[in-house]
Structure 1
Amino acid sequence: MKPPIARKAVLVLGMMLCISLPVTEKAHAGDTYSARVTADHLNVRSEPAASSKIVSSLSNGAVITVSDEAYGWLKIKVGQKTGWVAGQYVKKLSNSTATAGNPAASPAKTATTNTSKSEATPKSAVGNATASKHGVVSADKLWMRSGPGTNNEATELLQKGAALTIVKRENGWLQVRTTAGKTGWVSGRYVDETGGSVTAQTARKTGGLRGKVIVLDPGHGGDDPGVIGNKYKTIEKTINLSTAQYVAEELRRAGAKVVMTRTSDKEQPELSQRAALGSKQQADAFVSIHYNASPKKVSGTLTFYYSESKDRPLARSIEARLGQGGGIKSNGISYGNYHVLRENKQPSVLLELGFLTDASDESVVRKDDYQRKAARAIAAGLNDYFGG
């Protein structure tokens, strides 16, 4: 047995290491996948930050190989050079499958930096037809307009769940055709897209939360504390659990059945067990709850999805509510190659509800008031997703 002073020294050293080591998302060796650039012009930078040097640029449609992810940025190879691009302007190819890394590793922290609007030129698809895509209105009510923009005349009021065929795109707006044959433009933010028929999508989006099975996954646990806050030393695993419990309260109140991957801070289920629980329970949705970290000054929430067709609509619904009433700013949605998403057969998202490495975020998210607000937003997003 070590003398008390020696034990204390070891404990202090361990805490210093936990706090000081940067926590980032690193793709495991061999974890690569192909993706396509969706912006007209995309900067390639020397580091995963908007302030770093531009080393190259890519045009719309360029196919790239992604080998790493960090802070919402993707590491790619351009010719003989490597660089980083903002992940929000890249779409993983559906026929590209990443090689699974170490499935027992805890999900690492991935953050987004506040990239400037000039980081990429949005894709302009005026006159370019889509590949016969369909969508469903996700907002309670949505105006269809005569052109792509709010300055154009409103021609039709669409209701939530309305089935649409997408004809063209322009700067975030979609030219759509309704089942009645009427054509107009709507904001793409309020349309959940699907590659095939909307019949199944419409069927899913009915009835709200009542009777739905939701798996909540409070990240980390047991010997894995997750992130430790810089200022208040907030332990991530603890507030992951408390936030998930608040979400569970909201969901049960709305008539949903809730299943938790863990119910105490002593439990530490494997990532494979967490992902498999959704299938075992035949869940309608899987939500993994985390708080974030970054060696850079970054704040706000971030919602991750893996599958464009299976997960992205759920991510959009929850993020929209977090952005409206979560209590801190939202950084939007982003592709994330996490085990609990990648190996999950159910619609699933991973939520990062604030940065424990940012003093302002930590001071807010550690309080019950914020966690309850976030829980209400998450529940509302799920209700929207199911057409409530």
Structure 2
Amino acid sequence: MYKQFYKWQAWGIMVALFITFFPPSHMPTVQAANADLTVGSADTNLREGPGLSYPVITTVKSGTPLTTIAVEGDWIKVQTDQYEGWLANWLVKPADDTSKASPKIVVSQADRLNVRLEPNFSATIMAQMYTGDQATALKEQDGWIQIKWNEQIGWVSKDYVALKDANKSAQKVSTNDVFTVQVEALRIRSEASLNGAELGTAQFGEQFAVIQRHDNWVEIAYGEGSAYLYSFYGSFSDQQTSQETAYQKVTVIYNNTNVRTEASTNSTILTSVDAGEQYPIVGAAGDWYEIQMTDGSNGYIANWIVSTEQQPQTTRTANEPIKSHSSGQKGVLSGKTIVIDAGHGGEDRGTTGYRGTDEKDVTLKTATLLSQKLQAAGATVVMTRESDEYVTLRKRVSIAHQTSADAFISLHYDANENNAITGSTTYYFNDNQYNLAKTIHDNLTPKTNLVDRGVQPGNYYVVRENRQEAVLIELGFLTNPAEEQYITSAQFREQATLGIYNGILQYFK
């Protein structure tokens, strides 16, 4: 009897050990007790690495428990019950976060509020918000709020914003479904490119229903189909308004900004205004807005030193239309020929960034955007390449000589074996190139907020062999992970090209 008891006891121990080390396939693996995160309110992709360029391993459901393994920038490596992988930190929440609080909206209470890459005042500035701008709040940390702004994730100081419930917001966040033209005339094109056929011209104040955005272009409803406008020269609002009763306002960006009697930097200064002041737009002439001053008089202010927003104007009657300027001033760069050189191309990829960005792609996007700004100012712009093609250095310089270019601007993004190095540099070689390089760099640096690596002589073929006034600009380091994320954004390209554009204007005025 005792032998039989010990025999069954031995079998029981063996079965228990077997189940312990070799669980049946149908038995679920229990998630570790130290799960510290859960997937947020939407299903999300688990990726092989910390970035959107990495392949998707699987899709994890909302509420799935996660255990943190590692953190890299805005990405977290996590473990589920079956997988290990990476996902963005704004797609998860703490495991003990059971609150049902409504989502929050951040409202900027300061003009030019810095949106930073990390929650500290020394972090890279990604963008800036103006008073009244709104963004989705993601989370709070040590006096900072993480927000989603212009399709980017960044941080703002809690001291300069207000928080409100998104579900109880009295003011509807703009759905950006109407585009209003804010220059005297804007070409309507068949595709989102300068190569697109011209279908017509949109006039100041005209409004179009928006279909969707394409980087720096907006697709609009046009005729029985669609067409494209360059979005830099207009604004977005969430409803159609009467042209007779809806006016834009400009918000002045800089202190001591000049308002002039005519749309030209050579005209008489009417008065000076300071940052934050707002004035209604009553017309446009080239790169200038005609604004109404507080005393009822009108003056002109350059459109590159103000921001705009849709505002109802009640001081004029419905039968008093927006003033038109069909005979506007010539562009301030009229008569100037500028060659823009998008670095690399074709089989020459240039630098490949930490996150996989090819330099040749972002230089072309940047060059195209700069070209549009310069053309709008009246310049004749020649591109050394307009697509992903290989162009020799000799040919690039030859183009400058053949066109007798007034300026040659070569655009690049930098690289270094030390991925901690950051910043922008402007290079020249010949003495006649220095003043152009310095003027552009002095205007570029404050617009991008990159580390200022200065104006330096550089032994680069396109400046060394160039008889024209030529510069080569390195717009930040693709080999720095944080800087790559910032400098490859549409927001950065807009600010960088605006800085270069302002520098060229200042040099030739």
* TM-score normalised by length of structure 1: 0.45
| More strand as a share of residues | 2
* TM-score normalised by length of structure 2: 0.35
Higher relative contact order (CA 8 A, sep 6+): 1
